[in-house]
Structure 1
Amino acid sequence: MASSSPPKNPDPALFGKPTAGLRLKLYTIIFEADTRAGRLFDMVLIAVILASVAAVVLDSMAAIHAEYAFALRLFELVVTAAFTLEYIVRLYCVRRPLRYARSVFGIIDLLALLPTYLTVFVPGLHALIDVRVLRLLRVFRVFKLTEYVAEYGALGQALAASRRKILVFMSFVLMVVVVMGTLMYVVEGPAHGFTSIPVGVYWAITTMTTVGFGDIAPKTGAGRMIASVMMLLGWGTLAVPTGIVSAEFTAQRQSARGTTTRTTTRTCHECLSEGHSPSALYCCDCGARLPAWRHDAASAG
Structure 2
Amino acid sequence: MEKEHDFIPGRERWKREIFRIIFKADTKRGKLFDLILLALILLSTFIIMMESVSIFDAKLHRIFIIVEIIITVFFTAEYVLRIITLRNKKLYIFSFFGIIDFLAILPFYLSLFFPITKYFLILRMLRMLRVFRIFNLLDFMNDGKFIVTALKNSSRKIYIFLMFLMIFSVIVGSMMFMVEGHREGFESIPQSVYWAVVTVTTVGYGDVSPGTPLGKFLSVLLMLAGYSIIAVPTGIVTAEMRAKRQNLEKTCPRCGNDDIDDDARFCKICGEKVV
Q: Give the aligned partner of residue 119 of structure 1.
A: 111
Separation of aligned partners in 1, 2:199 and 2:176: 12
| Contact 2:92/2:98, CA 8 A, preserved across alignment | yes
| Contact 1:207/1:230, CA 8 A, preserved across alignment | yes
CA RMSD of aligned residues (A): 2.5
Separation of aligned partners in 2, 1:29 and 1:186: 67
Separation of aligned partners in 2, 1:183 and 1:28: 65
1:186 to 178, 188, 203: 178
Q: Give the aligned partner of residue 271 of structure 1.
A: none
Q: Normalising to structure 1: TM-score of the pair? A: 0.74
The 4+ residue runs of structure 1 with deviation greater than 6 A are none
| Contact 2:185/2:208, CA 8 A, preserved across alignment | yes
Q: Give the aligned partner of residue 216 of structure 1.
A: 208
| Contact 1:192/1:219, CA 8 A, preserved across alignment | no
Q: Give the aligned partner of residue 167 of structure 2.
A: 175
Identity of aligned residues (%): 40
**Structure 1 position 91, deviation (Å):** 2.8
1:213-252 correspondence runs (5 A): 213-252=205-244
Q: Give the aligned partner of residue 255 of structure 2.
A: none
Separation of aligned partners in 2, 1:130 and 1:76: 12
Separation of aligned partners in 2, 1:66 and 1:242: 45
> Can you give the 5+ residue segments of structure 1 that lack an aligned partner in the other structure?
1-11, 263-301
Separation of aligned partners in 1, 2:174 and 2:103: 40
| Contact 2:8/2:86, CA 8 A, preserved across alignment | no
Q: Give the aligned partner of residue 159 of structure 1.
A: 151
1:97 to 89, 103, 111: 89
Q: Normalising to structure 2: TM-score of the pair? A: 0.81
Aligned positions, number: 248
Q: Give the aligned partner of residue 202 of structure 1.
A: 194
Q: Give the aligned partner of residue 120 of structure 2.
A: 128
Q: Does 1:76 align with 2:68?
A: yes
Change (3 A) 1:261 1:25: farther
**Structure 1 position 53, deviation (Å):** 0.5
Superposed CA offset, 1:188-210 (max 9, x none): 24323212222112111111111
**Structure 1 position 78, deviation (Å):** 1.0
Q: Does 1:106 align with 2:101?
A: no
Superposed CA offset, 1:8-46 (max 9, x none): xxxx9xx9x965324555444433434444433322211
Separation of aligned partners in 2, 1:154 and 1:35: 30
Structure number with greater Rg is: 2
The answer to which structure, 1 or 2, has the higher relative contact order (CA under 8 A, 6+ apart) is: 1
| Contact 2:10/2:87, CA 8 A, preserved across alignment | no
> Can you give the 5+ residue segments of structure 2 that lack an aligned partner in the other structure?
250-259, 265-275
User: Aligned with 1:21: secondary structure?
Assistant: coil
Q: Give the aligned partner of residue 20 of structure 1.
A: 10
